[in-house]
Amino acid sequence: MRIFISADIEGVAGVVNAQQGTPGNPEYERARRLMTQEVNAAIAGAFDGGATYVLVNDSHGPMVNLIPEDMDPRAECIIGRPKPMNMTAGLDASFDAVFFTGYHSGAGRHGVLSHTVSGFAFQGIRINGIETAEATLYGAYAGSLGVPVALLTGDDRLAEQCHETFPGSVMVQVKTALGHRSARALSPEMARARIREGAAQAVRAIPGCTPYVIPPPCRLEVDLATVAMADLCGAVPGAERTGPRGIAFECPGITEAQQWIGVMATMCGTLR
């Protein structure tokens, strides 16, 4: 049984503000330890449940957040960026299921640190008219490979937006959002215990999980944060300007839609 874990940081118990996800301060150093420990809990649970191989992709920001020497040695890790398919780098059809740990709700949602891919660039991302979060975007990519999402961990707003998208999946809620930068959270120790238990349960539940598929082709529509960002992205061949801050691309499938999202996020980063 092969498990792929995509690990983000905003949905970790104890993380509530952007500073905790940004390198260069003591709060980040603490947050990355908490993230590493939650991932270890998911790895341990996966093996408890019968997994034979676990690959973890560090999926937040600089993508070198997980502390290698503290990682469960049974798992392999993908670290660094840029990398193909970003938060799902390394995923292929050989995996039996995907776990999303430390995830959060999408742009515009009233959840802890809600955003989709880039909080700086995107105010909304839709595929074929469906509002997306990172879990649904990357979950749809996994689904295109025939791989279901079996576990989600994060806040109640992640649960509300994404849990039902993945039939048969296990949701471990480690905090309840009070706002974008505040939450009522489990202690890290309790969060890890629940994640370990949830991960084991998720592996056993894989036969009942259904891959989430967005049928191709995919129309990608994004609401950018500024008009200047739309000017920049609108200059890309094939881009359709749908409004002052709106850009759309007609894509053969979810893979290409994700690739355009990555290109636009990187381009918009130059306007910071």
C-alpha 147: how far from its chain's center? 15
Two tokens, residue 178: 């009070």
160 vs 113: CA distance, rounded Å: 15
- Per-residue DSSP letter, 234: H
Residue 246 contacts residue 222 (beta carbons within 8 Å): yes
State in angstroms the smallest separation of the CB of 8 from Zn ion: 4
Q: Fill in the per-residue mask, 6 to 25: x = in contact with Zn ion (CB under 5 A), - = not in contact.
A: --x-----------------
State in angstroms the smallest separation of the CB of 208 from Zn ion: 27
Q: Could you tell me how many residues of this chain bind Zn ion (CB under 5 A)?
A: 2
State in angstroms the smallest separation of the CB of 98 from Zn ion: 15
Residue 258: CB partners within 8 Å, gap ≥ 6?
85, 86, 137, 138, 141
Which residue is closest to Zn ion by CB? 8
174 vs 22: CA distance, rounded Å: 21
Of the pair 5, 51, the CB lying nearest Zn ion is at: 5
Residue 116 contacts residue 125 (beta carbons within 8 Å): yes
Beta strand segments in the chain, E: 2-7, 53-58, 76-78, 97-103, 122-127, 130-131, 149-155, 170-179, 182-185, 218-224, 240-241, 246-251
7: alpha, beta or left? (left if phi > 0; alpha if psi -120 to 50): beta
Of the pair 119, 168, the CB lying nearest Zn ion is at: 119
Annotated catalytic residue, options 60, 104, 115, 163: 115
Of the pair 8, 221, the CB lying nearest Zn ion is at: 8
Two tokens, residue 96: 């039996």
Of the pair 18, 193, the CB lying nearest Zn ion is at: 18
State in angstroms the smallest separation of the CB of 100 from Zn ion: 9
Residue 90 contacts residue 57 (beta carbons within 8 Å): yes
Asked about 115 being catalytic, the answer comes back as: yes
State in angstroms the smallest separation of the CB of 218 from Zn ion: 20
Of the pair 134, 156, the CB lying nearest Zn ion is at: 134
In the block, tokens 């979060």 appear at 133
State in angstroms the smallest separation of the CB of 59 from Zn ion: 7
121-150 residues near Zn ion, rule: CB under 5 A:
134
Identity at 125, one-letter amino acid code: I
Of the pair 205, 264, the CB lying nearest Zn ion is at: 264
- List residues binding Zn ion (CB under 5 A): 8, 134
Give catalytic residues, as residue numbers: 115
